[in-house]
Amino acid sequence: MLAILLMLMISLGAITWLLSSRWRKTLRRQRVMAKPFPKSWRNILKRRLPYFHTLPWDLQLQLKRHIQVFLDEKLFIGCDNLKINDEIRVTIAAQACLLLLNRKTDFYPNLRQILVYPDAFFVEREQQDGAGLVSHERKLLAGESWEQGQVLLSWKNTLEGAANPHGGNNVVIHEFAHQLDQEDGIANGTPILAHSQDYLAWSQAFSQAYQELISATSQGESRIFDSYGATNPAEFFAVVTETFFAQPNALNRQYPALYKELRHFYQLDPMNWQ
C-alpha cells in the first residue's frame, strides 16, 4: 500500500511540474509578445521580405509576435566566420514563422539551433549499399534539417529565396517544413495533422501528386514542383510547401486536392495574398 501511495505521489508531482513548466513557458511567451516590435526589425522585414507587405494586417501582426518568440527561444550560430546579426536572425525567423500562422503551435519544439553559413556548404555522408559496403559522400547543400534539433542554412540562398517570394525556391521554408514533418520523430512527408480523419485525404492527395512527379522526372518532363521532390515523400512535402506559398494559384489549378490539404494543414490561403 505504501509503495502505491508513493508512486501516486511521484506521478502527481511529475504532472504538477509538467503543468507548471508549460504554464511558465506560456507566460514567458505572452510577455515576449507583449513587448513592442523593434523598429529596426520592422525595417528588416520591409527591406528583405517583399511578401510581408502582401499579408493581411492581422497576419502581419501575428507574424511579428511569432518572430519575437522565435528569436527569444532559438540560438543562431554563425559558421565559416559568419557573424550573426539581427539582419540574419529576423530574415530567417520571419520565413520560418510563416509556416506557424493561424495554427496552434509550440514554435518548433524540437529545434534548438540554427546554423548559418555564408554560402552553400559541404556535408559528409556515409552511405551503405545492399551488400553492406559503406561509402563516404561529400554533398554541397543550401540547407538541411536535422532531427537532433538543428537547421543548417546558407545565408546567400536565404536572401535569394526571400527576395523572390514567387520563384518557387525558398530554402528556409523548405527546411522548416522538414522540421514540422519531423515533430513526430519520423520524416515521412506527413506532419502531425489536427484530426485522425485527416490522414486519409492527405495520403490520397499527396500520393497521387508524388507518383506523378516521380513519373514525370524519370521521363525528363517538367512539373510545377522542383524535381528534387521526387527523392522521397519527406522531400516532396518540403517542396510542395515551397510551391504552396510561392505559386498558390498554379498549384490550386493543377493540383486542387493537394492545395486543399495544404490549405487545411497550414490554415492559410496564399491565393488571397497575390
- Give the model confidence (pLDDT) of 164-194 as tens digits: 999 889 999 999 999 999 999 889 999 999 9
Instruction: Characterise 167 by phi-psi region: left (phi > 0), alpha (psi -120 to 50), beta (else).
Output: alpha
Q: How far apart are CA 72 and CA 49, in angstroms?
A: 20
pLDDT band of residue 148 (cuts 50, 70, 90) is confident
Q: How many domains, the chain?
A: 1
Q: How far is CA 158 from CA 8, 95, 119, 204, 222, in A?
A: 51, 9, 9, 32, 24
pLDDT at 221: 87
Q: What is the grid cell recorded at 21?
A: 513548466
Compute the mean pLDDT over every residue in the chain, rounded to the nearest whole number.
Answer: 91
CATH code for position 255: 3.40.390.10
The reply to whether 183 falls in a domain is no
The whole domain housing 202 covers 188-274
- Reported pTM: 0.89
pLDDT at 126: 66
With the C-alpha atoms ordered 27, 28, 31, 32, is the resulting torsion angle positive or negative? negative
The reply to whether 86 falls in a domain is no
The whole-number average pLDDT for the span 60-83 is 98
pLDDT band of residue 274 (cuts 50, 70, 90) is low
pLDDT at 211: 96
Are the C-beta atoms of 221 and 237 separated by less than 8 Å? no
The reply to whether 225 falls in a domain is yes
Least confident piece of the model among 27-41, 113-127, 201-215: 113-127
The reply to whether 152 falls in a domain is no
The reply to whether 166 falls in a domain is no
pLDDT at 225: 92
Q: How far apart are CA 219 and CA 48, in angstroms?
A: 38
Q: How far apart are CA 229 and CA 239, in angstroms?
A: 6
Q: How far apart are CA 188 and CA 203, in angstroms?
A: 11
The reply to whether 121 falls in a domain is no
The reply to whether 258 falls in a domain is yes
